[in-house]
Each structure stands twice: as C-alpha cells, then as structure tokens.
Amino acid sequence: MKRQFLSGPYLVWMLVFTIIPLAIVVYYAFTDSITGAFTLENMGAMGTYFPIFLRSIWLAVVSALICLVLGYPVAWCIAQEKPSAQRFLYMLVMLPMCISFLLRTLAWVSLLEDTGIINRLLGAIGIGPLPLVRNDGAVILGMVYNYLPYMIMPLYTVIMKIDHRLVEAAQDLGCDSGQVFLRVTLPLSVPGIVSGITMVFVPAVSTFYISQKLGGTTSTMIGDVIESQFKTAYNPNLGAALSLVLMVLVLACVAVMNRFTGEDESVATI
C-alpha cells in the first residue's frame, strides 16, 4: 500500500535527529577533545564518577518508592469517585506540572530555608530551626514533589480499569478489605506500578536543577556533572561519555522493569 510512504518524512526526521545525534554522542565519548583521535580516556574517567552515579541512582530509587507509597492511595481514591469528579481530580494532579518546575523548586527552597516559612512556624512553637534544606532529604523531597504526578497517572489508569466484579467476587468468597487489596487490586495494578516507577526514576536519576537548589555540596547528581561539562567546564567529550553511560543505565533499568509486566503485555499507559 502506498500510504506507508506517509511515514517517510517522520522516519527520516527521527533518523537524523535521534539516531545520528546518539551516534555522535558515542563518537565524542570515544575521542579526544583536542586531537579528535580515538581514546578510552573519557570512558576510563567513569571510575571517578562512580560514587555520583551510585548516589543518583540511590536518590532516584528512594524518590520513586516514596512516590509509589504516596501516589497509590491517591490514584486509588480518584478511581473510586464518580467519572466527573475523577476528571476534575486528575486535572488537579496534572495542573502543577504546567507551571515552571524551576519556580516551584525555588518555592520549596523558600519554604525549607533556615529563615523559611516552615522553620518560622516551628520557631513560633519553640522548635528549630531545623536543617531542612541543603541535604539529600531535601533533594528527595524536590524529586518526589516534581515527579509524583508521573506516578499517579499510570496507577490511576490501571486501577480505573480493574473490573469491579473481581473485587466483589473476592468479597463474596470471604476476603476482608485488606485481603481484597493484597490479592486482587494490588496484583492487577502491577503494570501501573512498573510504569510509574520507571516514569519517576528516569527523570529523577538524570535531574540537574533540583539538586543544585535543594541539595548540599555533597548531593551533586550525575545530571549536574553532565550539565557542567557542557556549560561551564567545556569538555563535551567527557560529558558525552557520562551521557552515554547514563543512557545505557536507564535503558537497562527500563528493560528490567518491563520484564515484570510480561512479554507481550503493553504497559497500561497509552
């Protein structure tokens, strides 16, 4: 059929603007910044950045798990409402994402600072000031705040689609509400959990703004290092090597996560 050719421009576009750029990343990662000759030096430098990679992964995993614990009840509650209320609540979940995440992160800084709103409230009742900002906890808070909607969206989609008759059947067969949740609702929401965790983990592990504003001197993340290689240190070759490792890492994580949902089952977010 001729209509296939309609996708020609798209395929060419994607080849030129995604595949070739990634090939260039690989090329830069394995060449010297001055001579342009092949070198393994950039990749060899990865050892130095290993602790930063590890910390980024750790912070992102913790954030994704917190998002899951907070997001699941929200998604579940929204799914129990009437359709019109569901749409409205869903909109409320998405709305914050439309506002500059830089400014929202700055707002958190002003909430958490030593002279910030929370510490002043605590001070009024005689506590603190607590060191709420410039530490890993604040970075996790910032990531949970920014990426929580990405967790709620797929969870909601999956929970909404669960056949209510299954829940009723379980109740008829003598399950209490805890058992219904553990044996029916939770297993059926696994695809949503998997896609939610990936959707939080990927942006969280590669973020570069949140840690600069909310983190301390030791909370540098891999995104910050990559950004500085391109914007301040001007070593694009090292930056490309770091990006390459980050990309491979993320793809590996996504592939592992997708295993959990089975071979031919599409993750339930369209």
Partner 1 sequence: MRALSKTVTILVFVFLYIPMLVLIVASFNTGTDMVVIKGYTLANYNALFQDGVLLPLLLNSIIISVIAALVSTVLGTAATLGIHRMGKRMRRFAMFLTNIPLTNPEIVTGVSLALLFAFAGQLMKIKTILGFGTLLIAHITFNLPYVILSVQPKLTQMDPNLTAAAMDLGCTPVQAFFKVVLHEILPGVISGALMAFTMSLDDFVISYFVYGPGFVTLPVEIYNYTKKPLHPKIYALFTLLFLAILLVMLLMNILQARDTARHPGSPAAAPKKRRKLDTRRTES
- Contacts (CB under 8 A) with partner 1, residues 236-255: 236, 239-240, 243, 246-247, 250-251, 254-255
Please select the residue that binds partner 1; options are 171, 181, 183, 235, rule is CB under 8 A: 181
Half-sphere exposure in the Cβ direction for 3 (13 Å, CA): 0
List all residues 6 or more positions away from 66 whose beta carbon is below 8 Å from its beta carbon: 140, 144
187 binds partner 1 (CB under 8 A): no
28 binds partner 1 (CB under 8 A): yes
Distance in angstroms (rounded) separating the CA atoms of residues 202 and 76: 24
183 binds partner 1 (CB under 8 A): no
The token duo for 18 is: 């995604």
270 binds partner 1 (CB under 8 A): yes
- Contacts (CB under 8 A) with partner 1, residues 29-58: none
267 binds partner 1 (CB under 8 A): yes
CB closer to partner 1, 86 vs 135: 86
Task: State in angstroms the smallest separation of the CB of 186 from partner 1.
Answer: 12
Alpha-helical runs (H) found in the chain: 8-14, 20-29, 41-44, 46-80, 83-94, 101-112, 117-124, 136-161, 164-172, 177-180, 186-188, 190-205, 210-214, 222-231, 236-259
The token duo for 230 is: 């391109």
Task: State in angstroms the smallest separation of the CB of 229 from partner 1.
Answer: 9
192 binds partner 1 (CB under 8 A): no
> How far, in whole angstroms, is CA 95 from its chain's centroid?
18
Task: Mark the segment that binds partner 1 (CB under 8 A) among 44-52, 129-137, 163-171, 204-212.
Answer: 204-212
182 binds partner 1 (CB under 8 A): no
186 binds partner 1 (CB under 8 A): no
Distance in angstroms (rounded) separating the CA atoms of residues 105 and 208: 12
- Contacts (CB under 8 A) with partner 1, residues 111-170: 111, 113, 115-117, 120, 145, 148-150, 153-154, 156-157
Task: State in angstroms the smallest separation of the CB of 9 from partner 1.
Answer: 6
List all residues 6 or more positions away from 51 whose beta carbon is below 8 Å from its beta carbon: none
User: Environment class of residue 40 by beta-carbon count within 10 Å: exposed (0-12), middle (13-18) or buried (19+)?
Assistant: exposed
Please select the residue that binds partner 1; options are 48, 88, 131, 163, rule is CB under 8 A: 88
Please select the residue that binds partner 1; options are 50, 51, 54, 107, rule is CB under 8 A: 107
Task: Confirm if 205 and 56 have CB atoms less than 8 A apart.
Answer: yes
Please select the residue that binds partner 1; options are 24, 40, 54, 256, rule is CB under 8 A: 24
Task: Mark the segment that binds partner 1 (CB under 8 A) among 38-46, 47-55, 87-95, 163-171.
Answer: 87-95
Distance in angstroms (rounded) separating the CA atoms of residues 132 and 145: 15
Distance in angstroms (rounded) separating the CA atoms of residues 195 and 254: 9
- Contacts (CB under 8 A) with partner 1, residues 214-233: 223, 226-227, 230
256 binds partner 1 (CB under 8 A): no
